[in-house]
Structure 1
Amino acid sequence: MTDLSLAAAHAVDRYLVDALIGADAMLDAAVADQRAAGMPAIEVAPTGGKLLWLLARVSGARRVLEIGTLGGYSTIWLARGIPDEGRVVTIEAEPRHADVARASIDRAGVGERVEIRIGRGAEVLPTLAEEAPFDLVFIDADKESNTVYLDWAARLGRPGTLVVIDNVVRGGRVADAEDENPQVRGVRAGLEMLRDDPRFTATALQTLDAKGWDGIALALVV
């Protein structure tokens, strides 16, 4: 048996991507444009993107809320996972990021399914309160605001809405009670909310992929 190491984990990740996902010119172009624009390399891994697609399909989602667009990589995966008449509403705080994302989303052929709302999540989310409920919510923005985003996920969802929260392990730092980094504290507060808030039932999984050691939480609005 191969010993666990970062090199071995990356080799397994490359194998899984080659075996189950393959190359995708539109997604590759979205990442390339994101890099060219000087944006951080914090988009989900290809295996994570395919997972979002599968979750959208399995849940039968027609309305998806994404908090944190970045360069549109995960947005494309989500938009591909819903019907032609479905809608992804994605929130991005940086107008320049939104411009890059819009170009990539349109080039990928899913532009008609995607609406980008520009502004900080805490300011944009209340404006969605009068719209139809969302079937799936993907939270991948500033970790300090995870509890705010989870509260709005419950408010804007319905019983049965699936909530996905990215980056909940932070390289193992989430389990270190002495770590007072604001992002780690925000992740920990979000997980505690999922445990204590009766609106949710949840679990979390560690991941080790192209983005390193991290994890995702999956919650159901009950």
Structure 2
Amino acid sequence: MSGMDERARLMDYVEKLVPERPPEMQEMEAYAAEHRFPIIGAPAGYLCYQIARIAGARRIFELGSGYGYSTAWFARAVQENGGGEVYHVVWDEELSQRARGHLERLGYGDIVRYRVGEAVQALRETEGPFDLIFNDINKEGYPASLDVIEEKLRPGGVLIIDNMLWGGRIFDEADRSPATEGVREATRRLTTDPRWITTLIPIHDGLVIAYRR
């Protein structure tokens, strides 16, 4: 069996271990599969939910939220942690409205706060601190976002960054594109800065989990 077949088999196994999602979330997953819309998927979403529960997170900020799939996992955690708020931030008004519909039908209407605009600037303008920040913006913007994130994340808070394996492009030494270099630089900074305790988890397209000392 090839390496790719083994990985597909492993990912299928991991996905089957995730408890069944509500019909509304299954609809969001089906839409993503049909339209090739990039969402974090059930295993990574469930991991984000678990981390938010462990952290007792009650204030979460998402930098780049799509139509609310990852937001739903975080909102569930915040609700179970006793309530709070999750900031859903996207450039696109249509995506924001689609997310609002999904999240209200899931029962998270009183938890989610919606922002339409550039995500890092939205974080800069929002009062902190936050217990958890999730970063899924354009990859070339990852390094520059870290200073703002550190300012807004409480000591003992958690940063989660998506796409840190970047489809394997980080392993191609000839790839010097801004996006790939952004992923590399953010990884280097978080794994060498003593202010962070950082692990790269090879689930989905790679999630970095970083604890702010």
TM-score, scaled to structure 2 = 0.89
Name the amino acid aligned to 1:163.
L
CA contact (8 A) 1:29 1:104 kept: no
| SS of residue matched to 1:135 | strand
Cα RMSD after superposing both structures? 2.0
Aligned with 1:118 (options 113, 116, 119):
116
Q: Does 1:176 align with 2:167?
A: no
C-alpha separation in 1, matches of 2:170 and 2:192: 17
Aligned with 1:216 (options 188, 207, 212):
207
Q: Does 1:159 align with 2:155?
A: yes
Shift of 1:126: 1.5
Aligned with 1:199 (options 171, 176, 195):
195
Aligned with 1:42 (options 38, 49, 65):
38
C-alpha separation in 1, matches of 2:169 and 2:141: 18
Equivalent residue pairs, number: 211
Q: In 2 relative to 1, CA 76–67 (structure 1 residues): closer, same or farther, beyond 3 Å?
A: same
C-alpha separation in 2, matches of 1:134 and 1:172: 31
TM-score, scaled to structure 1 = 0.86
Shift of 1:220: 1.2
C-alpha separation in 1, matches of 2:195 and 2:94: 35
Shift of 1:32: 4.2
Gaps of 5+ in 1: none
CA contact (8 A) 1:122 1:148 kept: no
Aligned with 1:31 (options 11, 14, 29):
29
Q: Percent identity?
A: 30
2:103 matched residue in structure 1? 105
CA contact (8 A) 1:204 1:217 kept: yes
After alignment, is 133-142 or 188-197 more displaced? 188-197
Gaps of 5+ in 2: none
C-alpha separation in 2, matches of 1:14 and 1:181: 31
Shift of 1:203: 2.0
1:70 matched residue in structure 2? 66
Shift of 1:4: 4.9
Deviations 1:27-85 (A, max 9, x none): 1122345678x6x5210021001001100101111111111110100000010011342
